[in-house]
Chain A
């Protein structure tokens, strides 16, 4: 084989590099620039306003509310999605008959788009469950769970778990199948019970999978928009620090509403920059913590 011309690499990389620069790098830096301007999304003459947009953001209780809601939603999801996914993965890697069918079945909700899913579950929460609750006399079901400001985040997390657990399950399944069978057998021969085998052998051996799944659930919950939009549109209303706010308006929706609906693009971009920084910090800490637990095989 003759040596490749050095330009070949550059040529082959060019299309994807160009696309990446145009749709990720350029908008990213433009966004940072807009966050220091009074851009409204239309105007062509921009005025630099310094940190004014950041000041507005930090003085806006509704942004703080969205941030706290996002943290709550993310925390619930990290636990619920991973616990459910892990239990499902144990189930479908056992000797259960029909486990391949179940594996596919649990994965299917992930193939439904977030918007469609939101509208379906909106019907379930606002009609199906209400009728059930009223006809069967179950009092906590006779009020819409997404119409109640105290339950809406939990209802949304439930739907997200239903959708996302199957996907995370697949990652766990792959990790479990990658563990040499003799390790589990050896533990079994030594007299370890099933829970002991799971906690002392399986979970430590799967640490690298947890790094990935926790990262995915963290970032996915943090960036949630489509399900939020179609299931609740941010509603219902709730009082927060004496202001009328929305009980399920997550950060991404707050940013969108600020930038697009209220045409305060600069303000929205400032929130997006903050959103980016928070997400980067959270995920770096999470990955660093997880990496320390990983074992080399």
Chain B
């Protein structure tokens, strides 16, 4: 109960602050990592267009939605805020502006329109897969282009394991699943996405819907468990079982592992480590059906408050971000994001981001399915199961059974 006090105090301060500054349009930002470039862009944009754009950044998922909710209740609602999919859509849908006719919609295939009407502006494209260090693979005589099946991937890992000392690596793969290290999401969310979406059409949501009805596709799950076993068996065991984000990223970034299960948001980390080696993605090769696709989605969207007094300006702000050179430069160069829009000629600096941008452009991608699970399910229910499979407490059968039981509880 005592913990409420700082929260209330924080609210009071935020609103004391919020109402002091006069702004024409206001935006509530959830991505802490783009806070500085976004504010700089908004200021420059506001000066050029004759109105103020005020950005408030609230880091961390839980606070963000509470803050926006409070802004609504205090009668000082944001003009632009963020949602992350169907959950947010259901909460806010009565007050979301229809953006269907806006110019940015024509330039993207990722606008958010859960009921046929476009309401969401895709903030950025993010992607993940199995990243590889091309230098290590070349030294081991492995061509990443050949790694399109689980068998080929497993053989490559075997070879790397045998050449470990020669190559100066500690293990073939930098994988993580530790609850203590906060890495449940790497295994139970991103790697597990192979089960949700692997080898399916981008819009095919059948496996996710099956789970929302409490059922699993057992053959698929068994095949996935074989793939996960390979990922675990050839991983650096310290990082796998105890490591945090830095431990996993550093292992790969310092050339101590040939593969990593991570997304393009790691680019700044590798820049920080001065990692100069060439890198790219192979697919999540969970079956022997050849594939090169990586998992790509626009995981969050800007939505516009339909009751805003500055509706036109707010929409113009978004259109210009997507379609003007200054806007694209901000998204790609300053904020380091992969834009969700066609016709962007600016290229991101990070190698993984480039790979994601190319994959998104070519359409050789699978979607993300994990975000539709109930709140906390991936972290608190799947996370420990994935860790127990890594520690050997569960065998393949035990893992499959336990995931099946866990998914069976979803409809409750």
Please report A residues at the B interface, Cβ cutoff 8 Å.
23-24, 27-28, 31, 41-42, 122, 126, 130, 144, 146-147, 231-239, 244-246, 257-258, 260-264
A262 contacts B376, CB within 8 Å? yes
Is there a chain A Cβ closer than 8 Å to B17's Cβ? no
| Given A42-B69, A257-B380, A237-B385 contact (CB < 8 Å) | yes
Chain A minimum-CB-distance residue to B1? A27
B2 contacts A24, CB within 8 Å? yes
Query: Which of A41, A244, A260 contacts B385, CB < 8 Å?
Result: A244
| Given A23-B4, A130-B238, A42-B383 contact (CB < 8 Å) | no
A23 contacts B5, CB within 8 Å? yes
Chain A minimum-CB-distance residue to B247? A126
A24 contacts B385, CB within 8 Å? no
B178 contacts A147, CB within 8 Å? yes
**How far does the Cβ of B318 sit from chain A's closest Cβ, in whole Å?**
25
**How far does the Cβ of B59 sit from chain A's closest Cβ, in whole Å?**
15
Is there a chain A Cβ closer than 8 Å to B79's Cβ? no
Q: Which residues of B have CB within 8 Å of A245? A: 384
Chain B minimum-CB-distance residue to A152? B180
Q: Which residues of B have CB within 8 Å of A233? A: 179-182
Is there a chain A Cβ closer than 8 Å to B108's Cβ? no
* Chain A contact residues, majority secondary structure: mixed
Given contacts A233-B179, A244-B402, A261-B380, 5 further A-B contacts (CB under 8 A): A122-B180, A234-B179, A235-B179, A236-B178, A258-B376
From B1, B8, B374, name the one whose CB has the most chain A CB atoms within 10 angstroms.
B1
Q: Which residues of A have CB within 8 Å of B65? A: 42
A23 contacts B242, CB within 8 Å? no
Chain B minimum-CB-distance residue to A119? B244
Chain A minimum-CB-distance residue to B8? A23
Q: How many residues of B contact A (CB 8 A)?
A: 37
**How far does the Cβ of A61 sit from chain B's closest Cβ, in whole Å?**
12
| Given A261-B379, A262-B374, A236-B179 contact (CB < 8 Å) | yes
Per-residue A-contact encoding for B373-405, CB less than 8 Å = 1, 0 else = 011110111011111100101100000001000
Which 5 pairs, one residue from A and one from B, show the smallest C-beta to C-beta distance? A235-B179, A262-B376, A235-B180, A237-B384, A237-B387
**How far does the Cβ of A59 sit from chain B's closest Cβ, in whole Å?**
11
Report B341-399 residues with CB < 8 Å from chain A CB: 374-377, 379-381, 383-388, 391, 393-394
Chain A minimum-CB-distance residue to B399? A244
A257 contacts B376, CB within 8 Å? yes
A126 contacts B242, CB within 8 Å? yes
Q: Which residues of A have CB within 8 Å of B385? A: 237, 244
**How far does the Cβ of B74 sit from chain A's closest Cβ, in whole Å?**
14
Chain B minimum-CB-distance residue to A43? B91
Query: Which of A31, A235, A264 contacts B1, CB < 8 Å?
Result: A31
Chain B minimum-CB-distance residue to A56? B412
The distance in angstroms between the C-alpha atoms of A30 and B393, with both chains bound, is 42
A42 contacts B91, CB within 8 Å? yes
The distance in angstroms between the C-alpha atoms of A232 and B181, with both chains bound, is 7
A239 contacts B393, CB within 8 Å? yes
Q: Which residues of A have CB within 8 Å of B5? A: 23
| Given A42-B65, A236-B241, A262-B376, A244-B384 contact (CB < 8 Å) | yes
Is there a chain A Cβ closer than 8 Å to B166's Cβ? no
The distance in angstroms between the C-alpha atoms of A35 and B91, with both chains bound, is 22
A262 contacts B380, CB within 8 Å? yes
Q: Which residues of A have CB within 8 Å of B243? A: 126
A-B contact pairs, 20 of them (CB 8 A): A23-B4, A23-B8, A28-B1, A42-B69, A42-B91, A126-B242, A144-B238, A144-B241, A146-B242, A235-B178, A235-B180, A235-B387, A236-B180, A236-B241, A237-B388, A239-B394, A260-B62, A261-B62, A262-B377, A264-B376
The distance in angstroms between the C-alpha atoms of A283 and B13, with both chains bound, is 37
The distance in angstroms between the C-alpha atoms of A27 and B349, with both chains bound, is 50
| Given A237-B179, A237-B385, A263-B375 contact (CB < 8 Å) | yes
Per-residue A-contact encoding for B1-26, CB less than 8 Å = 1, 0 else = 11011001000000000000000000
**How far does the Cβ of B146 sit from chain A's closest Cβ, in whole Å?**
35
Chain B minimum-CB-distance residue to A235? B179
Chain B minimum-CB-distance residue to A272? B1
Per-residue A-contact encoding for B244-255, CB less than 8 Å = 1, 0 else = 000000000000
Q: Which residues of B have CB within 8 Å of A257? A: 376, 379-380
From B179, B379, B393, name the one whose CB has the most chain A CB atoms within 10 angstroms.
B179
**How far does the Cβ of B269 sit from chain A's closest Cβ, in whole Å?**
18
Chain B minimum-CB-distance residue to A248? B180
| Given A27-B1, A262-B375, A244-B388 contact (CB < 8 Å) | yes
The distance in angstroms between the C-alpha atoms of A262 and B375, with both chains bound, is 5
